[in-house]
Amino acid sequence: MTPPQSLRLLLPLAVSVFALAQEALVVPAGPIRVRLLAPLTTEFSRKGDMVAAQVIEPSGFKGGILVGEVQEIKAGGGPGKVSTIQFELQTLHLAGKTAPVPVSLTEIRNSRGEAGKDEEGSTLETGGGALSAVGSKITGVFSRGPEPVHLTAKAANLSFAPGSEMVLQAQGRRSK
Q: What is the pLDDT of residues 104-161, one digit of tens each?
A: 889 999 999 999 999 999 999 854 433 333 333 333 334 444 678 889 999 999 999 9
> What's the pTM value of the predicted model, to 2 decimals?
0.73
Backbone phi, psi, residue 91, to 5°? -130, 130
Strands (E), the chain: 26-27, 30-36, 40-41, 50-57, 65-74, 82-94, 97-100, 103-109, 149-154, 159-160, 165-170, 173-174
Looking only at the bridges linking them, the beta strands covering 26-27 and 173-174 are antiparallel
pLDDT, one tens digit per residue, over 37-47 is 999 999 999 99
* Ordered domains of the chain (ranges, CATH): 25-174 (2.40.128)
